[in-house]
Amino acid sequence: MKRKFALSLLLLMLLSLALPLCAHAASGGSLGYVTDSAGLLTDEQRAELEDMAAGISEKYRCGVYIVTTQDYTEFGRGSIESCAEEIYDRYLIGFGETGDGILFLVSMADRDYDLDAHGSFGNYAFSSRNRDLLVDAFAPCFRGNDWYNGFRAYLVTAEQLLVPAVEGYPAYLEQLRERQAGQQKLLSGAKGVGSVLIGLLTAGGVCGGMKRRMKTAVEKDDADDYMTPTSPHMKIVQDHFINRTRTVQVVQQENRDSGGHSGGGFSGHSHTSGKF
Amino acid sequence: MPVPAQITNFKCPSCTGPLRYDGESGRVVCDYCGGSFPVQEIEALYHDKIEDAQQAAAAATASAAQQGAAEQDWGWNAVSDDWGAAGADMRAYTCPSCGAELICDSTTVATQCPYCGNPTVVPSQFDGSLKPDYILPFRLDKEAAVKALTEFYRDKKLLPKAFASANQIEKIQGVYVPFWLFSGTAEVDMSFAATRSMTHREGDRIITETDHFQLRRAGNVDFERIPVDGSRRMPDAHMDAIEPFDYSALKPFSPGYLPGFLANKFDVEQDECARRADERAARTAEQVVAATANGGFATCVPTGKSIRLRRGEVRYALLPVWMLSTRWNDQNFLFAMNGQTGRLIGDLPVSKRRYWGYFAGIALPVAGALAALLYFFL
């Protein structure tokens, strides 16, 4: 029995060590509200923030998370946004069916941050504009390396944003449903009009061809039949290279922003990221 | 005043029945006694009569000139008094067989006496410079033309049903139509701006590299015998549309091929017709030379061109055409068939009922099927 208990404890310890290494972690594990892998907080500060975040998250049914790391590139991801998404999806964090919540990822190597809102309510509560307000809250403290107060300001502001969001969300959903119904109606109309148009064009093309066959007395404008078999006799065939031009088109990634700008989808991930 | 002995009837040497050229056998035949003669034999037989008729016509013209009517030839006088202005382009002849007066168009080379049915040739119309260089004998007969017209109606879905069933051929006539045959060379010099592109991907970037070229193509395109009809009476569209003719069957002109058909001499001068031949040659030459530049390039836009036409020999030929006319709903419909190849063309009436019937028959199922697909699968 003792041996079993010791083994379980060891396993638990190993798991807790692995938690911060988001990309390397097994999917479906659990993640606290505050994970400080970069060691920016004292134990007390971390515990206090954890309690605060848990309280807000439970109260509003929308997860508010903080994760710090030394260097997000260690996880082999292309950008801080994709690293944040990896953490969010691997640990299945967030509340409700759509995983509502916001993850604040801080990477110390190049002083990067990313705010990753997720879920329909998460995206509504932490819209692009509201994420900017969160940045405004923590950024002054972070610039002075005051991590604790920065995180605290983030949590306080998040709660301030969640209060009106909870109240406005039903009306927003109703609006959304109406808009979707309108779009659906429009799409149905477009399908009908498109079908009729294509039907008319097809009939016009076929009947036009049939009508053309009724008129065969047409003046000729070429003399193809009378060209000698040896023609043309080409005398000059010159191809002069003039120059080479090069155009570069950057492929846009969906739901990715950089340099402090933001964007995103309704229930997927939307980001605001930058440097502090 | 009709002028006698200026026209010649082609009669059977055996029975004096009317002769006609038979395209299938390539001989001149008599439908009365069944006689069949080589064209050369008939030509030799009538050679003297044709020359006499040409001399008589020349003498009549000279006589008219002496009488102070140099501007008016013998035929004009004969009909203008009775026919007014319409008689200006008419000629009057006396049929050597039955003595009836034949009123013909001023361009008529060969016709048929409406009274005795004898094929009649007007030798003065192919005398000297008016003599065609070539003639392309008819290969297909009247029955073939009628059959071709029936076939022509067959697969025309928009043709009113009553047109094909009720309509009768009003007139069918084999005509040797005067054509000018233009040969020459088009010297083309063209320049183009062309591009060739390659696209590859580097990470999240799509790189397109475009090579720009300046092309030049110059060369000659030779043309042989572009036909342009020299008869105002024949619609250009009909004459163009029955092309091409197989010139390998061209024969030096002989009046022996004329019996049984109408024939006209040109009334559109060579220079006037040359413009159309030039336009056609220039267009084809440009297309042919431009086609040598298109290969291997993504875009190729002409930036300059110069086309110079050097005209070669011009020949005058009579080419065989069956003209068929029908009447339906107070409208005339004219068809033309290449008397050598059998290609038949002509404009047909369109049944509005059938047109809209087909339109609805196609549009409704297509729209319905598409709508069903979109609703169920999208």
Task: Summarize pLDDT for B166-214 with one digit per residue, the tens.
Answer: 667 778 899 999 999 999 999 999 999 999 999 988 766 788 889 999 9
Question: Which residues in A lie closer than 8 A to residue B238 (C-beta atoms)?
Answer: 217
Higher-pLDDT residue of B119 and A100 is A100
Q: Cβ–Cβ of B367/A248 closer than 8 Å?
A: no
- Using one digit for the tens of pLDDT, what is the confidence trace for B317-327? 999 999 999 88
pTM reported for the whole predicted model: 0.65
Question: Which residues in A lie closer than 8 A to residue B355 (C-beta atoms)?
Answer: 207, 210-211
Residue A17, pLDDT score: 39
Fold designation for A19-176+267-275? Diaminopimelate Epimerase; Chain A, domain 1 (3.10.310)
Q: Are strands A101-107 and B262-264 parallel, antiparallel or unpaired?
A: unpaired
Closest among B116, B163, B93, B164 to B18, alpha carbons compared: B116
* Vertex A207 angle, CA A201 and A210, to 5°: 145
Rounded CA separation B319/B53 (Å): 24
pLDDT exceeds cutoff 80 at B137: yes
Q: Cβ–Cβ of B208/A233 closer than 8 Å?
A: no
- In sequence order, what are the beta bridge partners of B135? B251, B318
Residue B102, pLDDT score: 74
Mean pLDDT of B311-316: 92
Rounded CA separation A254/B206 (Å): 17
Residue B85, pLDDT score: 59
The answer for B 189-248 residues in CB contact with A (under 8 A) is 189, 194, 204-227, 235-238, 240-241, 243-244
Among A65-69, B72-76, B343-347, B353-357, name the one with the lowest average pLDDT: B72-76
Size of interface A-B (CB pairs under 8 A): 199
Per-10-residue mean pLDDT of chain A, 276 residues long, equals: 50 43 42 93 95 95 95 77 88 90 94 92 91 93 94 96 90 85 88 92 94 91 93 92 82 42 57 87
Question: Which residues in B lie closer than 8 A to residue A191 (C-beta atoms)?
Answer: 371, 374-375, 378
Whether chain B has a CB inside 8 Å of the CB on A254: the answer is no
* H/E element, A114: strand A112-118
- List CB contacts of A136: < 8 A, sequence separation 6 or more: none
Whether chain B has a CB inside 8 Å of the CB on A204: the answer is yes
Whether chain B has a CB inside 8 Å of the CB on A171: the answer is no
Rounded CA separation A223/B226 (Å): 7
Rounded CA separation B21/B138 (Å): 8
- The CA distance from A152 to the nearest CA of chain B, in Å, is 38
Is residue B118 very low, low, confident or very high in pLDDT (cuts 50, 70, 90)? confident
Instruction: Kindly identify which residue of chain B lies nearest to residue A231, measuring between CA atoms.
Output: B221
Q: Cβ–Cβ of B362/A227 closer than 8 Å?
A: no
- Using one digit for the tens of pLDDT, what is the confidence trace for B213-269? 999 999 999 999 999 999 988 999 999 999 999 999 999 998 889 888 888 888 899
Q: Cβ–Cβ of A199/B210 closer than 8 Å?
A: no
A118 neighbors A103 (Cβ within 8 angstroms): yes
Residue B317, pLDDT score: 94
Q: Rounding to the nearest 10 degrees, give the CA dihedral for residues B96, B102, B106, B111.
A: -70
Rounded CA separation A221/B226 (Å): 11
Phi, psi (degrees; rounded to nearest 5) at B170: -75, -40
Question: Which residues in B lie closer than 8 A to residue A254 (C-beta atoms)?
Answer: none
